[in-house]
């Protein structure tokens, strides 16, 4: 039995669906079972990673966990959650992020670094998936695309190797069902590094009408994201986008090498999510 957390999200949901399609016994941890739209037959158990005491029923009889952490929001519970998982299972595949290092202490990457350290010290078998930017993060552009056909954001020339959530899920499913990635930190990317202007154009092609990119000042972007994140995380996001203009996100061959097919393009992701922008 494999427990999938974040099962109603894009990455967790993709990992769960691919495990289910392989005939693997999966259980979904969700906060509200009544609102969980999951494949028929998947066992759904109520629980909250921010409340370690709620995890007992979800972990009963579980061999491995696909762990999507509610970064920053549940960091106070992290040591107890990892200890609880380690008592009842043998393996964790953790959704981390590219750029994490032992010296990282601040913001979102600092949260991931803390989780990696806790899992390493727990005695669990582990794999840390380190994807680059999620293609799904561009869903934040959807309201502007729907209303005006415009993406208003910073650094249109920033190049990213955005990854489709299906590719993260595919590698996660592999790490959960075979032993080849134990103790590994695979960096996962899309197949090409494209500018944000090109991303907007790809969305337009997918929905059948032009979408243009309009550059905005950094302070406008800061106001747009500061309501949901602490200042250190906002600073990291803005600085990261600026750096990607001169130093594009590199592309790795990890996804095709592991899953035996080409990594999915951003254009394919846009087609798969056209309804979100229409």
pLDDT in tens, 69-95: 998 888 999 999 999 999 999 999 999
Helix (H, G, I), strand (E, B) or coil at 46: strand
Q: Averaged over 178-206, what is the pLDDT?
A: 97
Indicate whether 154 and 72 sit together in one domain. Answer: no
Residue 241 has pLDDT above 90, yes or no: no
Report d(CA 146, CA 136) in Å as an integer.
16
Q: Is residue 20 one of the residues assigned to a domain?
A: yes
How many domains in the chain?
Answer: 2
C-alpha distances out from residue 119 to 89, 129, 188, 220, Å: 12, 13, 20, 38
Helix (H, G, I), strand (E, B) or coil at 20: helix
Indicate whether 230 and 94 sit together in one domain. Answer: no
Tell me the pTM.
Answer: 0.92
Indicate whether 144 and 210 sit together in one domain. Answer: yes
Identify the residue whose tokens are 């990992």: 15
Q: Is residue 48 one of the residues assigned to a domain?
A: yes
Radius of gyration from C-alpha coordinates of the chain: 19
| 67 and 93 Cβ atoms separated by less than 8 Å | yes
Which domain range does residue 268 map to? 132-164+189-278
Tokens coding 267: 């254009």
Indicate whether 119 and 216 sit together in one domain. Answer: no
């Amino acid at each position: 039995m494999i427990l999938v957390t974040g099962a109603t999200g894009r990455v967790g949901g993709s990992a769960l669906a691919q495990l289910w399609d392989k005939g693997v016994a999966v259980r979904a941890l969700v906060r509200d079972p009544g609102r969980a739209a999951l494949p028929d037959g998947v066992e759904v158990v109520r629980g909250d990673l921010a409340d370690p005491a709620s995890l007992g029923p979800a972990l009963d009889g579980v061999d491995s966990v696909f762990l999507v952490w509610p970064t920053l929001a549940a960091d106070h519970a992290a040591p107890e959650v990892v200890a609880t998982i380690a008592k009842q299972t043998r393996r964790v595949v953790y959704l981390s992020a590219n750029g994490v290092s032992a010296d990282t202490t601040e913001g979102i990457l600092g949260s991931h670094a803390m989780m990696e350290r806790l899992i390493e010290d727990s005695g669990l078998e582990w794999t840390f998936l380190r994807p680059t930017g999620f293609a799904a993060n561009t869903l934040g552009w959807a309201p502007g695309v729907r209303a005006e056909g415009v993406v208003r954001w910073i650094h249109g020339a920033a190049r990213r190797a955005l990854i489709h959530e299906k590719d993260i899920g595919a590698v996660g499913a592999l790490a959960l069902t075979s032993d080849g990635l134990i103790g590994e930190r695979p960096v996962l990317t899309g197949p090409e590094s494209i500018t944000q202007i090109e991303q907007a154009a790809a969305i337009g092609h997918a929905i059948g009408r032009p979408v243009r990119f309009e550059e905005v000042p950094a302070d406008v972007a800061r106001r747009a994201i500061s309501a949901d994140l602490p200042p250190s995380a906002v600073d990291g996001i803005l600085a990261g986008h600026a750096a990607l203009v001169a130093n594009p996100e590199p592309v790795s061959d990890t996804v095709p090498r592991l899953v035996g097919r080409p990594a999915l393009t951003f254009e394919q992701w846009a087609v798969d999510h056209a309804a979100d922008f229409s």
